[in-house]
Amino acid sequence: MLIVSIGLEGFSLRTAVKESAARRGDLSWPQFIRRTKAPELVVVLLEDLGALLGLAFALLGVTMAVVTGNGTWDAVGTPAIGVLLILIAVVLATQTTSLLIGEAADPVMADRIETALVAGSGVVSVIHLRTSHLSPDELLVTAKIEIDGTGTARDVVATINDAEARVRAAVPYDCLIYLEPDFRHET
Protein backbone atom coordinates (compact mmCIF):
# COMPACT_ATOMS: atom_id res chain seq x y z
CA MET A 1 0.00 0.00 0.00
CA LEU A 2 2.88 2.41 0.74
CA ILE A 3 4.36 1.76 -2.70
CA VAL A 4 1.05 2.61 -4.40
CA SER A 5 0.83 5.79 -2.32
CA ILE A 6 4.41 6.72 -3.27
CA GLY A 7 3.53 6.24 -6.94
CA LEU A 8 0.44 8.43 -6.70
CA GLU A 9 2.25 11.16 -4.75
CA GLY A 10 5.12 11.00 -7.24
CA PHE A 11 2.66 11.59 -10.07
CA SER A 12 1.13 14.50 -8.16
CA LEU A 13 4.56 16.03 -7.50
CA ARG A 14 5.48 15.61 -11.17
CA THR A 15 2.34 17.54 -12.14
CA ALA A 16 3.12 20.33 -9.63
CA VAL A 17 6.70 20.60 -10.92
CA LYS A 18 5.44 20.78 -14.50
CA GLU A 19 2.95 23.54 -13.65
CA SER A 20 5.59 25.53 -11.72
CA ALA A 21 8.32 25.23 -14.35
CA ALA A 22 6.94 28.06 -16.50
CA ARG A 23 6.95 30.52 -13.60
CA ARG A 24 10.27 29.30 -12.22
CA GLY A 25 12.28 30.36 -15.28
CA ASP A 26 16.02 30.33 -14.54
CA LEU A 27 15.61 30.24 -10.75
CA SER A 28 16.67 27.21 -8.74
CA TRP A 29 13.88 25.49 -6.82
CA PRO A 30 14.88 27.04 -3.45
CA GLN A 31 15.05 30.49 -5.10
CA PHE A 32 11.66 29.93 -6.71
CA ILE A 33 10.10 28.93 -3.38
CA ARG A 34 11.56 32.04 -1.70
CA ARG A 35 10.72 34.51 -4.47
CA THR A 36 7.46 33.39 -6.06
CA LYS A 37 4.41 35.49 -5.45
CA ALA A 38 2.09 32.54 -6.18
CA PRO A 39 1.70 30.82 -2.80
CA GLU A 40 -0.58 28.13 -4.20
CA LEU A 41 2.32 26.72 -6.22
CA VAL A 42 4.62 26.62 -3.20
CA VAL A 43 1.94 24.97 -1.05
CA VAL A 44 1.26 22.24 -3.61
CA LEU A 45 4.95 21.63 -4.32
CA LEU A 46 5.96 21.39 -0.66
CA GLU A 47 2.89 19.37 0.32
CA ASP A 48 3.56 16.83 -2.43
CA LEU A 49 7.29 16.71 -1.66
CA GLY A 50 6.57 16.31 2.06
CA ALA A 51 4.05 13.55 1.43
CA LEU A 52 6.46 11.72 -0.86
CA LEU A 53 9.36 11.99 1.58
CA GLY A 54 7.11 11.04 4.51
CA LEU A 55 5.95 7.93 2.68
CA ALA A 56 9.57 7.06 1.87
CA PHE A 57 10.50 7.44 5.57
CA ALA A 58 7.56 5.22 6.53
CA LEU A 59 8.48 2.59 3.93
CA LEU A 60 12.11 2.61 5.05
CA GLY A 61 11.16 2.35 8.73
CA VAL A 62 8.69 -0.50 8.17
CA THR A 63 11.05 -2.36 5.80
CA MET A 64 13.97 -2.12 8.20
CA ALA A 65 11.76 -3.23 11.10
CA VAL A 66 10.59 -6.29 9.13
CA VAL A 67 14.09 -7.16 7.82
CA THR A 68 15.86 -6.77 11.17
CA GLY A 69 13.00 -7.80 13.41
CA ASN A 70 13.69 -4.63 15.42
CA GLY A 71 10.65 -2.33 15.88
CA THR A 72 12.95 0.60 16.71
CA TRP A 73 13.29 1.31 12.97
CA ASP A 74 9.56 1.86 12.70
CA ALA A 75 9.69 4.09 15.77
CA VAL A 76 12.47 6.21 14.20
CA GLY A 77 10.45 6.80 11.01
CA THR A 78 7.56 8.45 12.82
CA PRO A 79 9.51 11.36 14.38
CA ALA A 80 11.40 11.83 11.10
CA ILE A 81 8.06 12.39 9.38
CA GLY A 82 7.03 14.81 12.15
CA VAL A 83 10.24 16.85 11.79
CA LEU A 84 9.74 16.96 8.02
CA LEU A 85 6.19 18.27 8.44
CA ILE A 86 7.35 20.92 10.91
CA LEU A 87 10.05 22.13 8.50
CA ILE A 88 7.56 22.39 5.65
CA ALA A 89 5.10 24.25 7.88
CA VAL A 90 7.79 26.79 8.87
CA VAL A 91 8.76 27.40 5.23
CA LEU A 92 5.12 27.82 4.20
CA ALA A 93 4.35 30.14 7.11
CA THR A 94 7.36 32.30 6.30
CA GLN A 95 6.58 32.54 2.59
CA THR A 96 2.85 33.17 2.83
CA THR A 97 3.12 35.64 5.72
CA SER A 98 5.35 37.89 3.64
CA LEU A 99 2.62 38.13 1.00
CA LEU A 100 -0.05 38.94 3.58
CA ILE A 101 1.86 41.94 4.91
CA GLY A 102 2.57 43.52 1.53
CA GLU A 103 5.91 42.21 0.37
CA ALA A 104 7.92 44.50 -1.89
CA ALA A 105 8.97 43.44 -5.36
CA ASP A 106 12.21 41.49 -5.39
CA PRO A 107 15.39 43.44 -6.26
CA VAL A 108 15.45 42.17 -9.85
CA MET A 109 11.91 43.48 -10.48
CA ALA A 110 12.69 46.76 -8.71
CA ASP A 111 15.73 47.23 -10.97
CA ARG A 112 13.60 46.50 -14.05
CA ILE A 113 11.05 49.08 -12.92
CA GLU A 114 13.69 51.73 -12.28
CA THR A 115 15.38 51.04 -15.62
CA ALA A 116 12.03 51.26 -17.42
CA LEU A 117 11.19 54.55 -15.75
CA VAL A 118 14.35 56.30 -16.94
CA ALA A 119 14.56 54.58 -20.35
CA GLY A 120 12.54 57.22 -22.19
CA SER A 121 12.83 60.93 -22.69
CA GLY A 122 11.63 63.31 -20.02
CA VAL A 123 12.50 61.23 -16.93
CA VAL A 124 15.97 62.16 -15.66
CA SER A 125 16.14 59.86 -12.62
CA VAL A 126 14.16 58.06 -9.96
CA ILE A 127 14.25 59.96 -6.69
CA HIS A 128 12.63 57.13 -4.75
CA LEU A 129 10.68 54.00 -5.56
CA ARG A 130 8.33 51.87 -3.46
CA THR A 131 6.61 48.64 -4.48
CA SER A 132 4.13 46.32 -2.79
CA HIS A 133 2.48 43.13 -3.96
CA LEU A 134 -1.29 43.44 -3.75
CA SER A 135 -1.71 39.81 -4.86
CA PRO A 136 0.48 37.23 -6.57
CA ASP A 137 -0.23 38.88 -9.94
CA GLU A 138 -0.67 42.55 -8.95
CA LEU A 139 2.03 45.04 -8.03
CA LEU A 140 1.63 48.55 -6.66
CA VAL A 141 4.39 50.87 -7.89
CA THR A 142 4.85 54.35 -6.47
CA ALA A 143 7.74 56.59 -7.40
CA LYS A 144 8.91 60.14 -7.28
CA ILE A 145 10.62 60.81 -10.59
CA GLU A 146 12.85 63.69 -11.59
CA ILE A 147 11.66 65.23 -14.85
CA ASP A 148 13.65 67.50 -17.13
CA GLY A 149 11.16 70.36 -16.68
CA THR A 150 11.50 71.77 -20.17
CA GLY A 151 8.00 70.98 -21.42
CA THR A 152 4.43 72.00 -20.78
CA ALA A 153 2.00 70.30 -18.44
CA ARG A 154 0.79 68.27 -21.41
CA ASP A 155 4.40 67.10 -21.98
CA VAL A 156 4.70 66.06 -18.31
CA VAL A 157 1.50 64.01 -18.59
CA ALA A 158 2.80 62.35 -21.76
CA THR A 159 6.14 61.61 -20.03
CA ILE A 160 4.33 59.98 -17.11
CA ASN A 161 2.05 57.95 -19.40
CA ASP A 162 5.06 56.74 -21.41
CA ALA A 163 6.93 55.80 -18.22
CA GLU A 164 3.92 53.83 -16.95
CA ALA A 165 3.69 51.95 -20.26
CA ARG A 166 7.39 51.06 -20.10
CA VAL A 167 6.99 49.70 -16.55
CA ARG A 168 3.99 47.58 -17.54
CA ALA A 169 6.00 46.14 -20.45
CA ALA A 170 9.03 45.42 -18.23
CA VAL A 171 7.41 43.36 -15.45
CA PRO A 172 5.14 40.29 -15.54
CA TYR A 173 2.53 41.76 -13.20
CA ASP A 174 -0.61 43.82 -13.49
CA CYS A 175 0.64 47.14 -12.17
CA LEU A 176 -1.13 49.94 -10.37
CA ILE A 177 1.28 52.84 -10.86
CA TYR A 178 1.45 56.23 -9.17
CA LEU A 179 4.21 58.56 -10.36
CA GLU A 180 4.92 61.94 -8.84
CA PRO A 181 6.95 64.27 -11.06
CA ASP A 182 9.45 66.46 -9.23
CA PHE A 183 12.79 68.21 -9.57
CA ARG A 184 15.79 66.96 -7.64
CA HIS A 185 16.41 69.39 -4.80
CA GLU A 186 20.03 70.00 -3.97
CA THR A 187 20.71 69.93 -0.24
138 and 90, same structural domain? no
Mean pLDDT for the stretch of residues 13-42: 83
Buried b (16+ CB within 10 A) or exposed e, 43-71: ebbbbbbbbbbbbbbbbbbeebbeeeeee
Distance of CA 82 to the CA centre of its chain: 26
Total domain count for the chain? 2
Check residue 100 and give its pLDDT: 65
Tens digits of residue pLDDT in 112-170: 999 999 998 889 999 999 999 887 788 999 999 999 877 888 989 999 999 999 999 99
The full DSSP string for 71-108 is THHHHHHHHHHHHHHHHHHHHHHHHHHHHHTTPPPPHH
Contact 153, 167 (CB under 8 A): no
pTM, two decimals, is 0.59
If pLDDT is split at 50, 70 and 90, which confidence band does 92 have?
A: confident
**Residue range(s) defining the domain that contains residue 51:** 2-100
112 and 92, same structural domain? no
